[in-house]
């Protein structure tokens, strides 16, 4: 699975207050319109799409990552039935 990570423009305190999962200000999701990382789609109709979150990022910090290469061996990966997968991001030393 290919995703992107980028350094959020918001502070870590602001990300925490909004309930956005991050790793010291880095967020993971789909890269949209050069300046945004968005989370999985939680609601969609023929009129709009609602992602779990959207965060403005520094476009120079964005990089493509392959999350299957960073999964812990014991991690379970679950599909939401819409082509999105959910798992905890691997962090060095855990």
| Share above pLDDT 70 across residues of the chain, in percent, rounded to a whole number | 69
Q: Report whether pLDDT(74) > 80.
A: no
Q: What's the CA gap between 70 and 16, in Å, rounded? A: 23
DSSP assignments along 62-79, one per residue: -EEEEGGGG--TT---EE
Across the chain, what does the average pLDDT equal? 79
Domain locations in the chain as residue ranges: 2-86
Q: Report whether pLDDT(50) > 90.
A: yes
Per-residue pLDDT at 66: 76
pTM score above 0.95: no
Find residue 30's DSSP bridge partners: 38
């Amino acid at each position: 699975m290919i995703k992107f990570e980028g350094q959020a423009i918001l502070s870590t305190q602001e990300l925490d207050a909004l309930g956005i999962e991050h790793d010291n200000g880095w967020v993971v999701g789909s890269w949209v319109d050069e300046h945004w990382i968005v989370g999985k789609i939680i609601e969609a109709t023929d009129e709009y799409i609602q992602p779990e979150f959207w965060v403005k990022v520094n476009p120079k910090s964005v990089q493509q990552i392959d999350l299957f290469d960073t999964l812990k061996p014991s991690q379970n990966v679950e599909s939401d039935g819409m082509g999105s997968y959910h798992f905890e991001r691997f962090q060095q030393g855990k």
